[in-house]
Each structure stands twice: as structure tokens, then as C-alpha cells.
Structure 1
Amino acid sequence: MVAPWLTAGTVVILLCGASAQTITQLVPGFQATPGFTVSTDITTLTTSGQFVTVSWTGNPSPTNNDAIAAYVLAPNVTVDGLSPFKFQWINRSPGAESSGSGSLKFQVFNQRYPTVFLYFSNITSVGFGNVAWSSSRVKAVSPPIAINPNEPTQGHLTFTSTQGEVSVQWTTRDVGTPVVKFGTSSGQYGAPVPAKTGGYTRDIMCGQPASTYGYFDPGSLHYGTIAGLAPNTKYYYTYGDAVLGLFAPESSFVTPPLPDSSAAVHFLAWADAGQANAADYDDIDTSPDGTEAHTYWTAYDTWEQEQATQPSSLKLVQRLLDEVKTFKPTLAINNGDISYARFGTRSNYNPKGSVSQWDVYFEQYKSLYTQLPVMSLPGNHERDWPNTGDRFYPLQSRSDSGGECGIPYQQRLRMPTKNSTNEWYSFDHGPIHFIQTSTEQPFGAGSPQWQFVVADLMAVDRSKTPWVVVGFHRPIYTTSLEGVTLASDLQVANDLRDAYEQIFFQYEGDLTLSGHVHLYARTCPVLRKGCLGFNKTTGAPNAPIHLSIGNGGYAMSWFVNHDTPDYFDAHILEHGYIRAEVDATSLHITALASETGKVMDDFTIKKAAGFKPDLNARNQFLYSGYQPNYKPTFLEARPTTAFLPFSELYPNAFCIDGTDPGLSPDTVFFNLFFKNLAADLKKDKALLASIANASLVVGGPNQEDNVPNLSEIFDAYAKILRRPSFLKENGITDPTVAAKFIYKAFLPLFQQFDKNRIAAALNPSLDPNVLKDPTTSTATETLDPYRIVGNIASNIKNPLVFNQEDTTTSTP
């Protein structure tokens, strides 16, 4: 097979030790076990992303706690100081824990240094499901897989601040002589355009683990600007090293029209997607099969989805690539929490600040991003770190970026910001003016970001770009119930409305696109939680519409307000994305499910031809005494000033590993749930398998969606409820009916759990663990959120006529 980066005149340099370190440097004190070998079915990686079979034989003392892990021979790293890029437990290979032999398949990317596979024996547990990677546990090592360190990888496109320009970005190990070649005919290019090179080192990271076990050399991050591009034109291009003759396979993109009201464009948008390996959803798994930890995390990953990787992102990328072929967009919008190069809730096996996961992300999206420029903004998992300029410190310390504090994001996705401090910008695309903001930095009235947004809105030429679309990471309207701390979803939404809602209304902004809360939702044309409807003459909305598109790939936000407020017209918990068709008078958006491809929501915003914003009319409306006619749902009655940590509200909260929880309500709820079912799950492998293979996707009140395998998980929950035959007993044979029933059965538990938290926050004298029920005559009966799970079955009266009020009561 000829590698795609090998072209005529290529100088071939296969790195298998030159600038890499040795096995003994990676694994200090390593001594091979006689007769025990690890091997791979290839010796040279011919293309990034190739599948490799790893085999081993001759292990004299295998255990159930043995694992195969992938590392690279990068300089200045050791097994004791760097987490593995991926690993699998050997008992996935049938009989390996007893025979001492077996094989597993991995997907291997070119990460600039030779890849090796290490066999770890009887890995020590340092907590519930945590793994201690130690050089003393390495018993065998594969020969290194040779790579070309300067194969151009991770290619992607962005727009610059100048019309007719595109930035081409990619990665190699060495700086070399990076160039971009492009032209309007395939294979026929003009003079090479020199590129610049950036990057980052361990010492400029803001903290651990980005500066410690998440870091190895990220390589040279090149970026070259191709300018003078004509509108509505297809360009072919390649990128690589002019001296070595190493170039990426040719790609192409189509430029958008110039900013003009007569133009028409298509774009795609999503947020919170993350990354995953195509080889196996479980390339990173915490504990060996059959252990309590494995049982717990298998069930938990179905509830929360995998923390280390986001398997739903694989389907997302497939759908987006299909859209490029058929829908022909000229722009992609990705509004934060880009790669989730982060540490899960479990152990040091997968750190935040993981260089390796950034590599995987860009390789996964490369086929898309080399055809479609992507414009992004930072999310909390790219940006937040104490004392680095985020808006929460010092009132609250947020460590969501794992010490990255935005540096890898800025170096890897170069947006047309004024500088690295001010992570906001605007750009035009056909008839649309986009404003991309940073909800992770100060945005309140008078702040530099607020001043930029206001000045930008005032300066938009609506005769050229009649549409204004604003990007946030955190949403300005949300059904999230996280509302205690300064960085909570409800508090940030309140702050965003305080800063921007009136301004967007005055200057007739059309749409906001946000992520962070993992669902799809659409508001009505809304101002101060009041729906203002549409103009009777033109059909145009009388206020901005707000979309949440955080359903890209990460776990769904199950603990949102299922009693959806009236100002939401759509509210759907299913992975997906949006596509938009825009011309001078119409902005048509379709929300699609990435699993099934079906349409989840479809709407059009209209605008009169020759539109001109009427600031005076909007101001007159605002100052006429407008008060929204809106009655909040009970679960919206949140305190907005009490920034209490979760541990103070729940000092006795159960955590599976005995540590300080600091967990979200859904995680605590699951831990309580699991406490009652662990024994059943551990002994019932069929039940555990049904959970592991299930896809839990359910719509909110506006829509309840069922995808393949949905019935499996609800069949599993039926068993968990210790009523294995209750469906049949009640005449329910349709899995869809069963799914909806179980979902409704759990809704009141979600709601009661949150009501208890709210009541405790509103009245400090109440014990949040035991709340008096004021509706009883004796006022002695209690509602205990930590007993609700165990009592659920007794509260189910008749599945077919289940009333959610059966398990809910009012609270103080």
C-alpha cells in the first residue's frame, strides 16, 4: 500500500528512534520477561488512523487485571508521568486471563512519534475503578511501529477577518518549511504560500494535569493564509513541507458569496460534540469485566454516556459529511466544548488537558474540516481555570479545562480575535453577520466584551447583512436546573439576559446559537420570558429566537426541567445538529438527529425585503411599561444569589467511591440508584450487556423519540425495578409503550429530587435530606430523596394510567 502522503520526489524518513526516546526511557527499569512477547501485525504506520492488531503470548502469570496500553516514544515522558493514550483489558480477548495469550485491535494515529504497546500486569486499584499506571507493572513491550513524523495530519480550515481569505492549519513534528498550494483546477496550483508555525509547551500550561500527565510534545502547529479568493468558487489545495516534499492528499472547498443581501448561503452548526475512536467505543475502559467497578461504570456510561470519549460524535461526523455532499454548506459553526480533551470522573487514565485527545479529535474531523471552514468559540472545557481571566474567579474556582486555560484551543483553532485575551470576534458570511462571544470571560455591562458586542451591533450594515446571529457557549435561555453557583447554568443565563437581552431586542438580533446544556431546544420570539409572537404583516418574529444546540455528541442533560417553560417551542433530548438555508428574506433551520437522520424540528424566520431595523419603535415598546405575562414553573423558582456549593446542600450525599461527591444531581441520583441494583447487575451478565448496548434517547414533553436499542435499556430498567414481568402482567407488549412508561415513572423522581434541593436552598433551616411534607395533616410524614429510588416500584399503580403526581407533592 502506498501512503497518501508519499508523492513524487518525497524524501522518506521513517522515524523509529531518531528523535524518539528508547523503551527503557519510557519504562524506567524495564526488564523483559523471558518468553513473554507482544507483537503487532504492522511494523510501519502507512496512514494515520490505521487499524492494528496487537497480540501477545507466553505470559506465565496472567490475571483478570492485566491490560494492553498504547504509548508513544516521545521525549521527556515516562509511563509513570503520562497517561496511556488508550488501553483495553486483556479479558476482552476470550480466555486470555488464563491462557497467557490473546489479541486485541486498536486504531492508531500518527502522533509524531513511534507507537508502542505495553502489557501491564495486575494493575493496582487506587480507588473505585481507578488505575495506577506504573513502570513496575510493565512486563512486555511491542516493537515500535515506525511512522513519518512529518506526515501532514489534522488538517482544518477557518476564515480570517478578511473577506476572500481562508486559513489552512495542520500538524507535523518538526517546523520544517510549511507551505500551502492552491488553485481552481485539481492538481494545478500557483506558487506555494509560506505558512507560519505555532505550538505550546508544558511550561506555559496553567496547571495540572495539562502540564503533567496529560502532556507530551504536541508538535508544530502550522497555519497558512490563502488570499485573493473569488466568491462562489471551488478551490483545490494541499499543504505540507516544501523541502521534504511531504504533502497531504488534495482537498477542496467552495468560497461563500460576498456579504450582500441578495446572496444565499447554507451552513451547519452544533456544539458539545467531542471525539471518539472509530475502532471501539471502549478503547478506554476503567475496570476489567466482572468487577464491581466495571459493573458500575457500564451502567453509569449508559446513564451519563462515556466521560472519556463521546461515541455519538462518530455518527455526527458521518451525517455532517453527508450534508457536505448534498446540502453543500460553505460554513460550519462549532460553539464550544470542542474536543473534551478531558479527565472523566474516574481516574488518571484520561486526563483533561490531553494532547492525545486533541490529536484524535482533529483526525476524526479532518475529512469534514478540510472541506468546510469551521468557526468556533471557547467552552468551559477549553477555557476555565482559576486566576486566568475567566469570569468566575475569585468568587468561584473553575478547573474545567484541566489546566489548559484556552492555550491549546487558541493554538489549534485560530479564530480572527483581536488577541489571545479577547476571545470574541465577528465576521460576515453572505447575508449573515455572525458575532461569536465568550461566555467564559467577563461579559457584563461595561466590560470590554460587552462594549465590543454593542459597538458591533450598532455598526452592522443591515442592507448587506440583514441577518444577525450571535454565538454563545452557555445559553441565554435554558431548561437546565443547575442554579446554585456563580457558574451554574441558570445563573449564567440570568447574567447573559441582564447583559444582552435588551440590546439584542433593540437592535433586532435574529438568533442565538448556544451549547453547554446537552439537548436541542428552541424558544419562541422571547423577551423577559414573555413570548412576543410574530408580525402579522411580515411574519417576522417580534423578538430574538434562541437555540440550544449542545446535543452534538456528549451525554444528554437528563436532569433538565421536564416541565418545560412556555417560552420553549421545542425541547428534545437527542443527539444531532442543525442546518440553515439563508437568503435576504428567509432563515430556514432544520434540526436533525444524527443517529437516525430524521427531522426533529423545522422552522423558518422571515424578514421583509429591504429590511431596516427600527430602533425607535423597539425603544418605544421597551419604555411603554412592557411586562411579560408569564407564570414560572415551580422548578424555575431558583435562588439567583445564593452561591452554595453542592456539598453544603448535601453533606450526606452518597458517592460510590467514598470521596467528596461534588457531583451533579443526575450523578448523585444514579449513585443512589446503583446502590440498590449493584448485586443484580453484577450477577446478571445479560442484563448488564443490554445496558451496555442500549442507546438512551428520549424526548422531552414536546417530543419523545425512540431509536434502535431504546427498548433494551427500558427492559433492563424493568428488571432493575425488581418486577421482571410487570410489563407482561399489565398487558404491555409494545417496547415503545414500555419505554415511555418507564420514562414517565422516573420523571417525578427527577422533579422531586430537585424540589427537595430547591426547598433546602430557599429555607436554610430545612434538612435537605428529610423534608417535611406540608400537605399532610400531621406534618410528620417525610420525603427523603435518598429513599425515593428504593420505593419507586411501590409507587407504580397502573402503568397505562400513570399519574406523575403520584409521587410528587408541593414543598415550602
Structure 2
Amino acid sequence: MTRTPRGQAPDVGVPADLAEHMTVAEQHDWVRSFLHRHPVSRRTALKQGSGVVAALGLASAPWTLAACASAAGAPVAVVGRHLAFGDDPTRSMAMAGELTAPPPAGAMVVDLGQGGTFGAQIPVEVRRLVSQVPQADGSIRASDQYFVHALANGLQPGASYQYRFRMPDGTTTETATFTTAPRTATGPWSFTAFADQGVDMVPPSGLSGFTNEPYKPDDTRRSMTPSTSMVDRVAATRPAFHLLAGDICYADPSGEGKPVKSTGSSKSPSGFDSFDPTVWTTYFGLIERSAATTPWMFATGNHDMEALYDDNTAHGARHGYGGHAARLDLPRTGPSACPSVYSMRYGNVGVVSVDANDLSMEIPTNAGYSGGAQVTWLRQTLTGMRGDPAIDFVVAFFHHCAFATSASHASDAGVRAAVAPLFDEFSVDLALQGHNHQYERTNPIRRGRSAAQAPDGATVRPETDGTTYVCVGSGGRPRYSWQAGETDRYRGDTTPDSGVNVVSYQAVGESAKLPDVVDWSQARYLDYAYVTVDVVPPPGPGQTTTMTLRAITDTGQEIDRVTLERRAH
């Protein structure tokens, strides 16, 4: 019986005479079984070119660190280390990295200690991620990656630890350090944030088109490699943690969550998204100099919907998030159906990660996937934070903008409708957004309008003034453009600007736009910038506490500043 007539199912590399009698799921299982029997490396591809390659249409180049290291006989090592807080930032820390080859026999551990000695061993979990990427020519490019994870619990609040990964043969990574969140912050501290980062370098696969797209000819006020420069700045700052509001590495350059079929570049065949899983290897290598010592906390954006993994149920994949389950550790404090939705507290600041893919009207691929569970959870979480005497400020971060202007995405009506009423009700202080490749800060907003003017250097009182929304999608990817007639507006700009009242739009569908005349676009910078948020805890109950947001370019110039002020509990 023919189950999938030729031309009516994706060509994933199964011989055509077999494929027409299989479901897509059965084809998926067949490919996994084939790859298990025929590991892909340069050696096997060259030696058995008429066998393995011809049978499956596999490209002959190795496509992972593991394949390269296996072919070269190199020792196994851990690279691309990155940290994330566990469910309780005062007591837990997750440590992760990627193996350069399949795991050797024996147990891997993380050595953990204080004061220059290692007194504990944490078991390491190895998560294998097999990626079978259909190519436009009918072949399959296969990636076999191994990610290592260790979770340290029972740590002391506000304490520094050193750690290292140790292989079964005794070899170790370099020692790195981290510090847990304090139970109560008694002195000033900072965190940083941006979104839409990507990579500046060619991934290990060597495929073209997955690096930065060409910059515009007049894009002259930037470093040569904005994405790398951002990491340099964050590493030099040594914040308590870093927030990335979605669109992490752009392994999926299309960002629409469509089925995967790659051309070997960022150009996708009609109806498909290109995808290169090895971009993640490059990305983790890029951020390691910061992320190995500073927790990087991620939200998911549209370029993080990797449809290849919808059938990869080994890690509980849903809606293209299966790869993230293998690579990332995120707190599990949100709804079970939403892996990138969580909350945490650091000092007197509560932080909430929102998955805007669930709320978007512009890119509806994952819209509504939580069945309303996320919004219900968000209300409960904000209720709890506002009732917690240890929390003064509430910060939310997410990808698609509730309030922003640009010619490319502007504001997403679905996101605005979901979060803005809650942020008004619970007096959320700061919302960090991405999606638009630019820096933009609003006046404090209530009920969709400016509640106060907040020029550069102003002090905002969120309890009465409203929520400040900041788009910081200026993390490294090629910039967008403003609406017609709209201009930059930032400290140091000497040219006439178009003011805070501009004509923009809300996205109400994939191509549908609702005109939006806004009175809140206070600061704008159409190039590369991140934010540092400096928190000064209150000296005592009932005293003033502040949170100052500073926008800093990739070249180190501060271009905007606003201070949020509250009376502590």
C-alpha cells in the first residue's frame, strides 16, 4: 500500500521506493536507524562514498565537532561552556557545554569547590542531539551533537564557587567561577540585556549564508563584528546575569518555524526554512568568555522555533523547542507546556521570561500553543511578585515587541493585547523586548499612551507613571530602518529628530498592519547597543531604591539613560 505518494511528502533522504510506503514518522525512524548504523564523519564519507553517501545522499563533509574530532582521533573535550540559574538562583546553578566527540566510556563529572579547592563532584548528563536536515537537492546532512549538563543544588546564597568539567581519563577544562544570587542584596549590582544576536563567524559546517548578512553601506558607526563586540562588553561588565530576549544564534535564519529544507545557505526553498544546527556550536564558543562565569538567561524568539525537532520527542520537543531542551538549561518555574517561560528573583528584582511566540499575531506559527496557560501563569506570577515584600522591581523580557516602531515589525498587536493590561495592573517596571533590530525606549506607558515624558536622564516612578518598554534587538544582526519620516533620537545626535510622536503600526497578521499613531517613542538608535541595568537596593525598609537603565553602543558609548525609582516595602 502506498502511504505517501511521490511528491506529496517531504524528501528526507529515504530511497524513493521505500519512502512511498512509509509515513513521515516512519521515514524519520528509518533515517535515525541508518545513521546509527553508519556514523557520519569525513573518514566514513570519503572511504565509503559509494556506499553511505550514495545510499542516503549524505554530504561528504563532516557537519559537527564530534565528526571532525572522531575522524582526526583527537581527545574528547568540552567547549562552549555556559551557565544558567536553576529554579532557585540563590541555591542552584546549571553548567553546560558541548563535547567535541562522542562521549568516552566512563563517568564525566563537574568538580565543584570554593577557596581554590574542589570538594564536590556533580554527575554530568550527556544529551545527544541528532539533526537530520533535508537538503534542496534531496540529500540529508546529518549532525550528531553531544551536550553535557550538570546541576549544582544546595549552594550557599551569595557565594562564589569554582568549577571544571572532568573527563573519565582525568583531563579537565580550565577552571571557571560563578556566584549565586544573594538572599538579600545589600549593595549595588547590575545585569545586562540585548536580543537578536547571531554570530560573526562561519559555523563548523562551513556552509555559507549563516553569518551576518551584508551591512548597509552607511552603517559606519559600528565595530567590525557587532555580535562579538557585545560579548566583549558583557564580559568586561561582569554582570550578575545577562538576559537575551530571543533570536539567539540564528541557526534558523528564516524565523518562520516552517518545515526544514536547506539550500546550504540562508536562502530557503519556498515553504521551508533553512537550518544549520552547527551554528549553535559557533555561538556557544562565541559567548563562552562571558557565559562560563555569568548566567545567560534566554527567552525564545521566532528564529528559535526550529521545526526540525518537532518529531524529536527524545527531549520532549514541542513546536520546535526540542533542540533547546538538549542545549540549554532554563529554570522550570513556568507552565510545563512552555519550556522558555519562567520566573526568578535576584535581590529585590523579580524577572519574568515570556514566550512571545505563543502570543504573536504577526508570526502565528506557535500562536496559542499554550492554550492560555502562559497568560494565566503570568497573572499568577505577577500577583505573587507584587505580594512578595522582598521584591521591589519587576522586569519582564520577551521577543516580539508590545510597543516599538520600525519599518520591519513595529508592535505586535497580539503581544500588546496579552501583556500590556497585566503590566498596567501589576505596575511592571521594565519590559525588555527584541525582534526589531534597533534600540528604542518608550516613555512610561499606561493604557497604551504616554503617562509622563522621560527624556534622557529622567527619573520615572513606575507606580504612578507606568511601564517603560525598551526594544534592545540591537544585539548584532544587521539593522532595520525606521518608518518613513522617523529619525534617530539619542544623546550625541546633532541632527534634527522627528520627536516622540510618530506614525507606526501594529502587526495584526502575517502581512496585515493596523496604523498606530504613537506618543511614546522617546529614544531611538538605529545601530548596535545593549543595556546595563544598575540596581541600588534600599538602605532600609520604606527607603528609596533605584534601577538605572543605560544604553551603551557596541563601541562603548553611552547614548541613553533613565532611572526607575520606587519606595521599598
> TM-score, with normalisation over the residues of structure 2?
0.70
Shift of 1:192: 1.0
Letter in 2 for 1:236: Q
Q: For the residues of structure 2 that align with 1:274 and 1:304, how far apart are their CA atoms?
A: 21
The percent of aligned pairs where both chains have the same amino acid is: 21
Q: For the residues of structure 2 that align with 1:217 and 1:557, how far apart are their CA atoms?
A: 35
Match of 2:322 among 400, 407, 410: 407
Q: Is the 8 A contact 1:167 1:226 kept in 2?
A: yes
The answer to whether the aligner puts 1:477 opposite 2:403 as a matched pair is yes
Q: For the residues of structure 2 that align with 1:434 and 1:257, how far apart are their CA atoms?
A: 15
In the other structure, the counterpart of 2:193 is 269
Match of 1:427 among 318, 324, 344: 344
Q: Is the 8 A contact 1:457 1:507 kept in 2?
A: yes
Q: For the residues of structure 2 that align with 1:339 and 1:385, how far apart are their CA atoms?
A: 15
Q: Is the 8 A contact 2:299 2:353 kept in 1?
A: yes
In the other structure, the counterpart of 2:478 is 555
The answer to whether the aligner puts 1:593 opposite 2:553 as a matched pair is yes
In the other structure, the counterpart of 2:241 is 331
Q: For the residues of structure 1 that align with 2:441 and 2:340, how far apart are their CA atoms?
A: 26
Q: Could you say if the C-alpha distance between residues 572 and 230 of structure 1 is closer, same or farther in structure 2, counting changes exceeding 3 Å?
A: same
Shift of 1:189: 0.5
Letter in 2 for 1:601: D
Q: Could you say if the C-alpha distance between residues 76 and 202 of structure 1 is closer, same or farther in structure 2, counting changes exceeding 3 Å?
A: farther
In the other structure, the counterpart of 1:224 is 150
In the other structure, the counterpart of 1:167 is 94
Q: Is the 8 A contact 2:350 2:394 kept in 1?
A: yes
Q: Could you say if the C-alpha distance between residues 599 and 380 of structure 1 is closer, same or farther in structure 2, counting changes exceeding 3 Å?
A: same
The answer to whether the aligner puts 1:181 opposite 2:111 as a matched pair is yes
> TM-score, with normalisation over the residues of structure 1?
0.50
In the other structure, the counterpart of 1:315 is 229
Q: Is the 8 A contact 1:84 1:349 kept in 2?
A: no
Q: Is the 8 A contact 1:153 1:170 kept in 2?
A: yes
Shift of 1:182: 1.1
Q: Could you say if the C-alpha distance between residues 167 and 339 of structure 1 is closer, same or farther in structure 2, counting changes exceeding 3 Å?
A: same
Summarize the alignment of residues 296-307 of structure 1 with structure 2, pairs less than 5 Å apart: 301-302=215-216
In the other structure, the counterpart of 2:128 is 199
Q: Could you say if the C-alpha distance between residues 500 and 386 of structure 1 is closer, same or farther in structure 2, counting changes exceeding 3 Å?
A: farther
SS of the residue 2:118 aligns to: coil
Q: Is the 8 A contact 1:199 1:411 kept in 2?
A: yes
SS of the residue 1:216 aligns to: strand
Q: Is the 8 A contact 1:25 1:78 kept in 2?
A: no
Q: For the residues of structure 1 that align with 2:320 and 2:535, how far apart are their CA atoms?
A: 35
Q: Could you say if the C-alpha distance between residues 212 and 489 of structure 1 is closer, same or farther in structure 2, counting changes exceeding 3 Å?
A: farther
Q: Deviations over 1:310-360 (max 9, x none)?
A: 942122122222222xxxx11011111111113579982336431221111
Shift of 1:202: 3.5
Match of 1:379 among 301, 308, 331: 301
Shift of 1:24: 6.0
Shift of 1:602: 1.4
Letter in 2 for 1:182: L
Q: Deviations over 1:661-683 (max 9, x none)?
A: xxxxxxxxxxxxxxxxxxxxxxx
Letter in 1 for 2:251: A
Q: For the residues of structure 2 that align with 1:361 and 1:298, how far apart are their CA atoms?
A: 13
In the other structure, the counterpart of 1:358 is 280
Number of residue-to-residue matches in the alignment: 450
Q: Is the 8 A contact 1:152 1:170 kept in 2?
A: yes
Q: Could you say if the C-alpha distance between residues 507 and 232 of structure 1 is closer, same or farther in structure 2, counting changes exceeding 3 Å?
A: same
Match of 2:469 among 546, 563, 573: 546
Q: Is the 8 A contact 2:189 2:535 kept in 1?
A: yes
Question: What's the Cα RMSD here?
Answer: 3.9
SS of the residue 2:129 aligns to: coil
Q: Could you say if the C-alpha distance between residues 23 and 225 of structure 1 is closer, same or farther in structure 2, counting changes exceeding 3 Å?
A: closer
Shift of 1:382: 1.1
Q: For the residues of structure 1 that align with 2:121 and 2:200, how far apart are their CA atoms?
A: 34
Which structure is larger by alpha-carbon Rg, 1 or 2?
1
Q: Is the 8 A contact 1:518 1:554 kept in 2?
A: yes
Letter in 1 for 2:551: A
Q: For the residues of structure 2 that align with 1:225 and 1:285, how far apart are their CA atoms?
A: 36
Q: Deviations over 1:612-645 (max 9, x none)?
A: xxxxxxxxxxxxxxxxxxxxxxxxxxxxxxxxxx
In the other structure, the counterpart of 2:435 is 516
Q: For the residues of structure 2 that align with 1:298 and 1:229, how far apart are their CA atoms?
A: 40
Q: For the residues of structure 1 that align with 2:108 and 2:67, how far apart are their CA atoms?
A: 19
In the other structure, the counterpart of 2:31 is none
Q: For the residues of structure 2 that align with 1:404 and 1:530, how far apart are their CA atoms?
A: 34
Match of 1:233 among 148, 153, 159: 159
- Structure 2 gaps, min length 5: 1-37, 256-260, 267-273, 312-317, 360-366, 487-501, 503-517, 538-544
Q: Is the 8 A contact 1:257 1:430 kept in 2?
A: yes
Shift of 1:300: 5.2
Q: For the residues of structure 2 that align with 1:178 and 1:386, how far apart are their CA atoms?
A: 29
SS of the residue 2:325 aligns to: helix
Letter in 2 for 1:348: T
In the other structure, the counterpart of 1:668 is none
Q: Is the 8 A contact 1:154 1:363 kept in 2?
A: yes
Q: Deviations over 1:511-553 (max 9, x none)?
A: 1011111001100011244211179xx9513110001011001
| Structure with more relative contact order (C-alpha pairs < 8 Å, separation 6 or more) | 2
Select the structure that is richer in strand: 2
Q: Could you say if the C-alpha distance between residues 440 and 77 of structure 1 is closer, same or farther in structure 2, counting changes exceeding 3 Å?
A: farther
Summarize the alignment of residues 471-510 of structure 1 with structure 2, pairs less than 5 Å apart: 471-482=397-408, 489-490=410-411, 493-510=412-429
Shift of 1:597: 0.8
State which drifts further: 573-582 or 176-185.
176-185
Q: For the residues of structure 2 that align with 1:464 and 1:80, how far apart are their CA atoms?
A: 59
Q: Deviations over 1:347-381 (max 9, x none)?
A: 82336431221111111111111010111011111
Q: Could you say if the C-alpha distance between residues 365 and 26 of structure 1 is closer, same or farther in structure 2, counting changes exceeding 3 Å?
A: farther
